[in-house]
Amino acid sequence: MTNGSLFVSIIIPCRNEERFIAKCLESVIEQDFPKDNLEVLVIDGDSEDRTKEIIRDFSSKHPFVKLLGNPKKFTPFGLNIGIKKARGEFIIRIDAHADYPRDYVSKCLKYSKESGADNVGGPIKTLPAKGAIFAKSIAKVLSHPFGAAGSYFRTGSIKPCYVDTVFGGCYKREVFDRVGLFNEKLIRSQDIEFNKRLKKAGGKIFLHPEITATYYPQSELSDFFRHNFVDGIWTIYPLKFGVKIFSLRHLIPLFFVSGFLVGLILGFFFWWGKAIFVLIFGVYLLLSLLFSLKPAIKEDPRYLFSLPLVFFSRHFGYGLGSLWGLIKLIRS
């Protein structure tokens, strides 16, 4: 099997990505993979900014770039529209908030062939979308073990390994015939659920450190908090549909927030409640400061202030969202 004999489909679900979609598509167009064997399907979720206009401009210059509509807006619908329309023997799902080196497609195919895995990907290099201190802090938190909670695709790996999930992913087409499509009931976490389903069916997910992408997260602290809050909801709420997507590491923020709030409330009535609150908050603050100290000394002293706030937004937002997801689950 050679790259020249393969047809590959790249699918890009997106919505309101006018800031990032051009850079993403430019990196895809510059791939060293033969364009006659490539199609790029951009599935737009009814964007309200200039995203569709930008995609149409690329499509007019590069016929292998095609714009598809996703009237239901959310990611799993866009992914499934792309998969159904795709003609490739391999389907590579990429994110509009990222750009990719010239050999991204070629390396995905190379290591898919060598590993025999059903889904192949690599780590991401998280960079700030702006130069502001909180934008840079968000990027650091998402690639730090304390913020990424053991996600190899975020923290990186020095050697190839089999994992639970990867960023985006290069899938063999037959995987979707065997396992099914993405779960459209899940507004978030649909990739985690799909990969769990894939592994349950005997599939393998392979991460190779040579497959890299550059990812640009939210720049504002408020947006970052909201994003983590929604992620937290969709860690627990899928149980409503009989879907368990979480592992222990996904539940740690829920335990943290629950202990934090219980200690805070009981602290108004009992001395030991206050002690629980001080212990939980004190240990957490100490860890946050400890992990913030090195970049503050080596790079920018402002990190000693900004990084603990971003760590807290990450963990408290996710945990609070998980708690709200649990409440929604019980109420429903």
Taking only the tens place, the pLDDT of each residue in 226-254 is 999 999 999 999 999 988 888 888 899 99
Tokens of 322: 């998980």
Domains in the chain and their CATH numbers? 3-219 (3.90.550.10), 223-331 (no CATH)
Give the predicted TM-score (pTM) of the model: 0.90
Buried b (16+ CB within 10 A) or exposed e, 243-254: bebbeeebeebb
SS3 202: coil
Pairing mode of beta strands 170-172, 119-121: antiparallel
Phi-psi group of 250: left, alpha or beta (phi > 0 → left; psi -120 to 50 → alpha; rest → beta): alpha
SS3 140: helix
Residues in the chain: 332
Give all strands (DSSP E) within 50-157, no chain letters.
65-69, 90-93, 98-99, 119-121, 124-126
CA nearest to 75, candidates 11, 13, 18: 13
Taking only the tens place, the pLDDT of each residue in 16-38 is 999 999 999 999 999 999 999 99
Separation between Cα atoms, residue 168 and residue 98, nearest integer Å: 10
pLDDT at 150: 67
Taking only the tens place, the pLDDT of each residue in 207-230 is 999 999 999 999 999 999 999 999
pLDDT at 90: 97
Separation between Cα atoms, residue 228 and residue 284, nearest integer Å: 18
Contact yes or no for 6/39 (Cβ under 8 A): no
CA nearest to 115, candidates 194, 169, 35, 181: 169
**309 exposure class (CB count in 10 Å sphere: 0-12, 13-18, 19+):** middle
Contact yes or no for 311/253 (Cβ under 8 A): no
CA nearest to 19, candidates 51, 56, 47: 51
Mean pLDDT of 69-77: 96
Cα-to-chain-centroid distance, residue 80: 17
Contact yes or no for 45/14 (Cβ under 8 A): yes
Cα-to-chain-centroid distance, residue 86: 22
What residues have CB less than 8 Å from 34, skipping those under 6 apart? 3, 4
Dihedral of alpha carbons 72, 75, 81, 82, sign = positive
Contact yes or no for 71/36 (Cβ under 8 A): no
Please give the residue that has the higher pLDDT: either 176 or 156.
176
Angle CA(254)–CA(260)–CA(263) in degrees, nearest 5? 135
Taking only the tens place, the pLDDT of each residue in 160-191 is 889 888 888 999 999 999 999 999 999 988 99
CA nearest to 175, candidates 111, 123, 117: 117
Taking only the tens place, the pLDDT of each residue in 278-318 is 999 999 999 999 999 999 999 999 999 999 999 999 999 99
Scan for tokens 């202030």, then name that residue. Answer: 305
Scan for tokens 């619908």, then name that residue. Answer: 77
Mean pLDDT of 188-205: 92
Q: Flag whether pLDDT at 1 surpasses 50.
A: no
